[in-house]
Amino acid sequence: MNSVILQLAAKYLRILFLSFALIALVRGHNFPGGGFIGGLLAALYIVYDSLAFTTQQIKKELIVRPEHYIGSGLVCVLLSFLPSVLSGSPLMQGKWLSLDIPLIGVTKLGTPLLFDVGVFLTVMGVTLLFLFTLSTKK
């Protein structure tokens, strides 16, 4: 499809979709949301983009291949285990860090967030891989 309106809209909706995905990711620990939903939302934006542009153009925008999104997501998941193992507590126990960031206030960052980021990247990568595999015409 080659529609100017859709392509223009996609450019602006990109910001909306991605920020929505990120919000869902960050608030996920105590509220509805989380890595899986965030990842799906992010993938949704790329599905939308793929309607406006060609698959080749999107692949260029993504910088790395979808497999590597999956890989880096799994790395995040594995890294989120490290603090619990190093401090000698049971595997996968959540470890939290309180940070006083100017403007935002006291923010608690913890391994569950890192885990969620890993899920986010993995789900996004998996969905993109599905999309590219099924939409590529040979």
Q: Tell me which of 5, 103, 104, 134 binds another protein, using CB under 8 A.
A: 134
Q: Report which of 104, 75, 108, 107 is spatially closest to residue 94, judged by C-alpha positions.
A: 108
Q: How far is the CB of 12 from another protein (least distance, A)?
A: 29
CA torsion, ordered 85, 89, 91, 97, to nearest 10 deg: -70
Does 63 participate in binding another protein (rule CB under 8 A)?
no
The residue among 106 and 134 lying less far from another protein, judged by its C-beta, is 134
Q: Does 92 bind another protein (CB under 8 A)?
A: yes
Cα–Cα dist 11/15, whole Å: 8
Which of residues 91, 101, 103, 104 is near another protein by CB under 8 A?
91
State which amino acid sits at residue 115. Answer: F
Does residue 132 belong to the site contacting another protein (CB under 8 A)?
no
Question: Residue 129: enclosing H or E segment and its boundaries?
Answer: helix 111-135
List 16, 23, 51, 78, residue binding another protein (CB under 8 A)? 78
Q: Is residue 109 a contact point for another protein (CB under 8 A)?
A: no
CB of 74 to another protein, least distance (A): 5
Length of the chain: 138
- SS3 state at 94: coil
Q: How far is the CB of 71 from another protein (least distance, A)?
A: 4
The per-residue b/e assignment along 55-71, b for 16 or more CB within 10 angstroms, e otherwise, is eeebbeebeeebeebbe
Q: Which is nearer to another protein, 14 or 95 (CB)?
A: 95
